[in-house]
């Protein structure tokens, strides 16, 4: 049975991953941590500790005290925030990562951290972006993600730390909002469709980006962490995606359920610039071949589920 530490457990991924890990490995075996606390299942349904990932001593202490053997390091700033505060992003995204990797090395822990489609840049092939390709991102977030992939490779080759990672696309979910990302529009649109029957997209017409529904992302993390290490050629990080769409396509899908829904555009130049530097669609073949990655949700069945779950949550 694993004993898992999750950092950034109150963020978009952690808010749902913690519950999934507790269901799979037992509530007492998943220690959730975040820089803040709140009134959520993550805090109440199992061990929870306040942890700033810049505090390497406290992280080490929590890992040692709880005999943790697996670290899932999620705490990080997303792309749009990182572009607004590049120095903070470098310090937090890289500082937190190296602290967590050092603890993993010292305590012999298996290690997961997400990379992103943000690890690609304008000179990367835009369609069916290969697993191994040009990575010259032009955003601070992208610089952090490529550096993180390389650092995780280094800890594996140099110290034998069992590091694993995924290049996530935009993640769509109804539990916790993402906050500070470029792909967040694809979450906001569902909330506003139900609450206001209209949405103003800050991402322009015709801008394709990869996306994935949260249940597929969570399953991908568990599957990768359970995968036979002998089969992993690409440890850090695998391309994974479930769909690629532009704003009008998600609006049209929502309109099938809410016919009155309308969308217009007010493009945010900063986030549009980031989106324009990312691929239209990435190729997840290596993840499928090396550890059996599979996505259950496409735009159609995700929209049905999102609207149903959000209706209940928002009471609309």
Binding site for ligand AKB (CB under 6 A): 78-79, 116-118, 141, 168-170, 178, 181-183
**Active-site residue (options: 141, 185, 190, 213):** 141
**Residue with smaller CB distance to ligand AKB, 29 or 79:** 79
C-alpha separations of 168 from 73, 117, 238, 264, 277 in Å: 14, 6, 8, 27, 16
As measured in angstroms, the least distance from the Cβ of 272 to ligand AKB is 12
* Rounded least distance, CB 144 to ligand AKB, Å: 10
Cβ-proximal residue to ligand AKB, closest one: 181
Residue nearer to ligand AKB on the CB measure, 101 or 187? 187
In the complex, what is the shortest distance from the CB of residue 167 to ligand AKB, in angstroms, rounded to a whole number?
9
Complex with ligand AKB: residue 13 or 193, whichever CB lies closer:
13
- What torsion, rounded to 10 degrees, do the Cα atoms 187, 94, 292, 117 define? 50
Query: Which residue's CB is nearer to ligand AKB, number 15 or number 79?
Result: 79
Give the contacts of 17 (CB within 8 A, at least 6 positions apart). 6, 9, 72, 74, 218, 221
Q: How far is the CB of 151 from ligand AKB (least distance, A)?
A: 17
Q: Cβ distance 241 to 284 under 8 Å?
A: yes
Q: Reply yes or no on whether 141 is catalytic.
A: yes
For the bound state, the minimum distance from the C-beta of residue 179 to ligand AKB, rounded and expressed in Å, comes to: 10
| Residue with smaller CB distance to ligand AKB, 48 or 168 | 168
Give the pair of three-digit tokens for residue 253: 């899908």
Return the active site residues. 141
């Amino acid at each position: 049975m694993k004993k898992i530490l999750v950092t950034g457990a109150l963020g978009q991924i952690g808010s749902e991953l913690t519950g999934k890990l507790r269901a799979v490995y037992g509530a007492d075996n998943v220690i959730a941590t975040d820089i803040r606390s709140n009134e959520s299942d993550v805090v109440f349904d199992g061990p929870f500790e306040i942890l700033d990932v810049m505090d390497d001593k406290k992280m080490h202490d929590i890992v040692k005290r709880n005999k943790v053997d697996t670290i899932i390091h999620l705490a990080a700033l997303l792309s749009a925030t990182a572009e607004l505060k590049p120095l903070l992003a470098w310090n937090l995204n890289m500082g937190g990562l190296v602290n967590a990797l050092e603890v993993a090395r010292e305590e012999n822990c298996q290690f997961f951290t997400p990379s992103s489609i943000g690890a690609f840049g304008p000179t990367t092939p835009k369609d069916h972006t290969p697993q191994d390709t040009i990575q010259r991102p032009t955003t601070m977030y992208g610089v952090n993600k490529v550096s993180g992939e390389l650092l995780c490779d280094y800890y594996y080759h140099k110290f034998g730390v069992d590091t694993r990672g995924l290049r996530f696309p935009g993640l769509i979910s109804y539990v916790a909002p993402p906050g500070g990302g470029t792909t967040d529009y694809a979450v906001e649109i569902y909330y506003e469709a139900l609450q206001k029957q209209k949405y103003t997209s800050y991402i322009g017409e015709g801008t394709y980006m990869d996306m994935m529904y949260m249940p597929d992302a969570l399953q991908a993390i568990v599957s990768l962490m359970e995968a036979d290490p002998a089969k992993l050629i690409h440890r850090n990080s695998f391309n994974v995606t479930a769909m690629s769409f532009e704003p009008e396509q998600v609006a049209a899908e929502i309109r099938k359920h809410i016919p009155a829904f309308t969308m217009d555009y007010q493009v945010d130049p900063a986030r549009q610039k980031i989106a324009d530097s990312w691929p239209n669609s990435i190729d997840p073949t290596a993840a499928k071949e090396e550890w059996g990655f599979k996505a259950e949700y496409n735009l159609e069945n995700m929209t049905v589920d999102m609207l149903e779950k959000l209706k209940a949550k928002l009471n609309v």
